Structure 1
């Protein structure tokens, strides 16, 4: 006997099958885009774009984009900053249009393929084409932020409250798994470029472009499986509000939900600590602990692999103890990990790997559960608009951590003190999150309250 067609299934079973299909497609966007963050931003682009800028610099070490003197060594950082500014201006506008028209999928496709095309175009970044590299980075990074905002906003629509922690955790696990897989392939190509008949620079350009091709190819899966939900709201023409005005409107609307804002403030604080640990751990390893590049790359891979395990494990913990308690536990673990990092002996790779293991195990889960918990606090029909604010907290506001890290090092001359100073973000974030009555926040947002929060 054959399996009956889906239309012949009882309605609840058909709905469950369609929901699972959408969830599986949703996971694949993390699988598609995470290689950009891992291979491009974390490993290859920063050093390579800086080298390209230095080859174009004048005798004093400056390049002059649009006539503005910029130290070649700072060009990558300034490009990332400009991409954040662009994303902050565009995200509220796109988020509002997505909510009002219900047409998220075309907007997700436009953002994803803009970012994938810009990343693939990095293959042509050679010689002294630093302006091309800066432009492609700005476009790719801003597009990635916009696409992630739209992707995250699907979570409340494809997962009922009791499934949301698990679904969010699986999405993060898919992303870290893809990041690990592609990074291993890229490092093999880069390390053995002579064996493949490639120069070092060509190997790096292939690694950069491969991330864009991967992103574009696997983005087809979610774009086939996710579906739009028509809202019956105004037309797209009416939804196009000037970006700054829409940003102000979103902020005003969020003031009507102070508990949602309270969670977002807590997330902003502890996520700033997370992002700073990610970006500064390699500096700590190389400058304070005297570790080589191979050790640092190995630690990055370990973090990626264990983040898969951590995301899935913390998703299970949330099922038993609730997302809020599990996140609070992860913040304690972050604080303990940084405390242990302060005492790491120099030139001892094994202990640095232990530190990387601790980071990996709490990294994926704390991010995944923060996303799912926030999804309960978003008023229905405003998912993309509110997730634009969440994405800005995730990507656009993480500047206090690097500032504190730098100032602590400047005052003490010790990277150990600098890395330990970041524990303040996890302690303060713990206190702020502990004070948020999440059940009441969910009710005031107009959503059903899950059995465990």
Structure 2
């Protein structure tokens, strides 16, 4: 009896430590990716551009306004190549915590190094973004993989939700501090660029400082005899073999695979809007950084409310219909964004209301719907493929955005090109017979789905 109580207490201690990594790294996502880096790196690239508005990384002519989108795309492509290798290394060696810590601190260091991103150092900015983003993705993958080890099945929803809440709170808290610094930069004797660089570096310092807590609380588990050993090449190759086995098994569940394909398409559109909205707001709509920060804070608040609202709609109309409705809302919102007048913050705030209301719910319901389509006993490997695939094509949206701007020189054309992801995703999802897919996976079919 005492042993069980001690085990439960140890598990709660790990859970409390685990929450803090969401607190640590969510600031990178909000402050760096969503708000500051896109517009700032674009301005640095434009400072380095030739008279035709082109920069030449690795000798390749690139329109300066497309450089940030291309760099995000490259970082996500590198992430998906690295994920199976790092995942296999963690599983086979049992050294998950040191790997997570290494990725966290490499990412935090790269983000802190953005303080030195000034003048025309666009190549430095691109390199730091790639290192930070790959490290962020890998550390998050390793962090998520602790969840089944630190929480019993009936605890996982609550534990996961608390971690998400911690991340949301940290992102909002630091953005408020960023807003105060940026809005009053003259009072502190800082230029606008210096204030942005301090905000970027603060995200790296925050990430590194608070990563100490989960790394002290979490513990590695001993691997089973079948999961140990082997040369480094064999260990790394195991990641690709496991992925191939999972995909081969998915072929026996084509309806599950059909849903996953639809999700990958429309979620790529969602992720691209998140990373490119600040560039569109600053470059095309000529909005100042203060307006963009307030808009992101509004999105974060509404995303939580929207997730609750869409959860209630799903209970009434079913998850598939609710997601389809959200994709229509996404397409209409992005189309409306094409027509927004420049230097009119009110209309931009109206657009962010639309994004916020559908953002949290469309992703939350997609994850819960996918859980019904996973065969019993294969939850871990299917969700591993789900997460890998999520990142695996997330480079395509930024690439389309960058190419559209490269060809047209218009961010309006670039943003409206993303509507295709929601339209194609809608068509693919509507064609999935969800009830038959759940039954084919061997799971009970809910009354309303």
TM (normalized to structure 1)?
0.79
User: What does the per-residue CA deviation read over 1:126-173, in whole Å, with 9 as the maximum and x for residues that have no partner?
Assistant: 233333222211111111111121122223333344443343333333
In the TM superposition, residue 268 of structure 1 has moved relative to its aligned partner by 0.8
Matched, 1:362 2:355: no
Matched, 1:275 2:271: yes
State the alpha-carbon separation in 1 of the partners of residues 158 and 396 from structure 2. 30
Residue of structure 1 in register with 2:201 after alignment: 209
**SS of alignment partner, residue 128 of structure 1:** coil
User: What does the per-residue CA deviation read over 1:239-283, in whole Å, with 9 as the maximum and x for residues that have no partner?
Assistant: 544868843651343221344544432321231232234345557
Instruction: Could you tell me which runs of 5 or more consecutive residues in structure 2 were left unpaired when the two chains were aligned.
Output: none
In the TM superposition, residue 75 of structure 1 has moved relative to its aligned partner by 2.9
**Following superposition of structure 1 onto structure 2, how do residues 336-347 of structure 1 map, counting pairs within 5 Å?**
336=329, 338-339=331-332, 342=335, 346=340
State the alpha-carbon separation in 1 of the partners of residues 8 and 324 from structure 2. 34
State the alpha-carbon separation in 1 of the partners of residues 300 and 126 from structure 2. 27
Residue of structure 1 in register with 2:426 after alignment: 427
In the TM superposition, residue 433 of structure 1 has moved relative to its aligned partner by 5.9
**1:59–1:422 Cα change, 3 Å:** closer
In the TM superposition, residue 209 of structure 1 has moved relative to its aligned partner by 0.7
Residue of structure 2 in register with 1:399 after alignment: 396
Residue of structure 1 in register with 2:43 after alignment: 51
**1:33–1:395 Cα change, 3 Å:** farther
Q: Are the aligned partners of 2:107 and 2:131 in contact in 1 as well (CA < 8 Å)?
A: yes
Q: Are the aligned partners of 1:314 and 1:326 in contact in 2 as well (CA < 8 Å)?
A: no
Matched, 1:305 2:305: no
State the alpha-carbon separation in 1 of the partners of residues 376 and 168 from structure 2. 29
Q: Is 222-231 or 137-146 further displaced after alignment?
A: 222-231
Q: Are the aligned partners of 1:327 and 1:366 in contact in 2 as well (CA < 8 Å)?
A: no
Q: Are the aligned partners of 1:97 and 1:240 in contact in 2 as well (CA < 8 Å)?
A: no
**1:169–1:310 Cα change, 3 Å:** farther
Q: Are the aligned partners of 1:328 and 1:433 in contact in 2 as well (CA < 8 Å)?
A: no
CA root-mean-square deviation: 4.2
Q: Is 326-335 or 296-305 further displaced after alignment?
A: 326-335
**1:47–1:349 Cα change, 3 Å:** closer
Q: Is 382-391 or 50-59 further displaced after alignment?
A: 382-391
Instruction: Could you tell me which runs of 5 or more consecutive residues in structure 1 were left unpaired when the two chains were aligned.
Output: 1-7
How many corresponding residue pairs?
438
TM (normalized to structure 2)?
0.79
